[in-house]
Amino acid sequence: MLHPDFSRATAIAENLSRAELRISQACRTSGRGNGGNGGNCGNGGYADPVTLIVVTKTYPESDVEILHGLGVRNVGENRDQEARAKASLSPEGMIWHMIGQIQRNKINSIVAWADFVHTCDRMELVTPLSRAALNHSKELGVFIQVNLDPAAPANRGGVQPSEMLPLAAQIAAAPGLTLMGLMAVAPHPSTAIAAAGAFERLAGLSSALVAEYPHATYLSAGMSDDLEEAIAHGATHVRLGSAILGERPVVE
Ligand SMILES: *Cc1c(COP(=O)(O)O)cnc(C)c1O
């Protein structure tokens, strides 16, 4: 019988190569550069490769080690406590992305482990994020989360599109923070058509942001069910959980 860790590693490796194939096919279909896991934070623009962030929330630190062994460096988490514990045990060189809602009183703890936050969605977070970045002597990459669904309950997170530029101005002016671009979650991840419409709107908002902040070209969009639509609309960072690690129990 195979060692259980061996079969887990095999399953993750298979899922990972399937996901990388989807990403590179989506890049090719939409006439963009190479996809795959080699993406980096290069010079911006839609010709950039897509960075795959593997969302490890609810999964154990041993999965992070397996992913590291498979060459994955970017991982995403949505809860401070869980992420902080995992990050403290995991191999050097992982890049940690905070993709969950940010509570102000957790910011100093979040910035201790996170290299990027994707979910800055209100002014009151900017000064604490900046202070925490300086405190931890790091330059924190910040994405503005925009709400693409006006009908969504407020607790889904995301700034209203009309508030995007004022928030961007605050982030761009804050020491220790680098404004990366935008992040969004499609309103109805199960419906490809709804996702495509939302991502089209996101692409328009991204253009408006880049017109003011030429370096803020990154777009964090696309999950396991809608990465193709997101890449077709310019996503530079896709956040994949279940496609790689399996379905999570529904606790979120
Ligand atoms: C959980 C989560 C993901 C990953 O979702 P999957 O459907 O499992 O790929 C991506 N983005 C955010 C913000 C999440 O909370």
* DSSP per-residue codes, 35-98: -STT----S-STTSPPEEEEE-TTS-HHHHHHHHHTT--EEEES-HHHHHHHHHHSPTT-EEEE
* Range with lowest mean pLDDT among 43-57, 73-87, 122-136: 43-57
Query: For position 197, what pLDDT does the model report?
Result: 86
Tell me, yes or no, if the pTM score tops 0.75.
yes
CA proximity to 15, closest of 49, 61, 62, 55: 55
Residue nearest to atom 6 of ligand 1 (CA): 241
Query: For position 187, what pLDDT does the model report?
Result: 82
Q: Which atom of ligand 1 is nearest to the CA of 99?
A: 13
CATH number at residue 156: 3.20.20.10
Query: For position 6, what pLDDT does the model report?
Result: 84
- Map residue 18 onto helix, strand or coil: helix
User: Which residue did the predictor score with more confidence, 189 or 194?
Assistant: 194
Q: How many domains does the chain have?
A: 1
C-alpha 8 to ligand 1 mean position (Å):
20
Q: Which atom of ligand 1 is nearest to the CA of 247?
A: 8
Residue nearest to atom 11 of ligand 1 (CA): 239
Domain assignment present for residue 221? The answer is yes
pLDDT at 176 over 90: yes
C-alpha 223 to ligand 1 mean position (Å):
6
Cβ < 6 Å from ligand 1: which residues? 55, 57, 78, 99, 185, 223-225, 239-243
For 25, residues 6+ apart whose C-beta sits below 8 A from its C-beta are: 35
Domain assignment present for residue 1? The answer is no
Query: For position 45, what pLDDT does the model report?
Result: 39
Residue nearest to atom 7 of ligand 1 (CA): 224
Domain assignment present for residue 251? The answer is no
Domain assignment present for residue 252? The answer is no
Q: Which atom of ligand 1 is nearest to the CA of 119?
A: 13
Domain limits for position 230 = 6-245
> Which residues share a beta bridge with 177?
140
Q: Which atom of ligand 1 is nearest to the CA of 225?
A: 7
Residue 195: band (very low, low, confident or very high) from pLDDT cuts 50, 70, 90: confident
Domain assignment present for residue 130? The answer is yes
Mean pLDDT score, 128-147: 98
* Range with lowest mean pLDDT among 32-36, 45-49, 65-69: 45-49
pLDDT at 113 over 60: yes
pLDDT at 95 over 90: yes
Residue 37: band (very low, low, confident or very high) from pLDDT cuts 50, 70, 90: very low
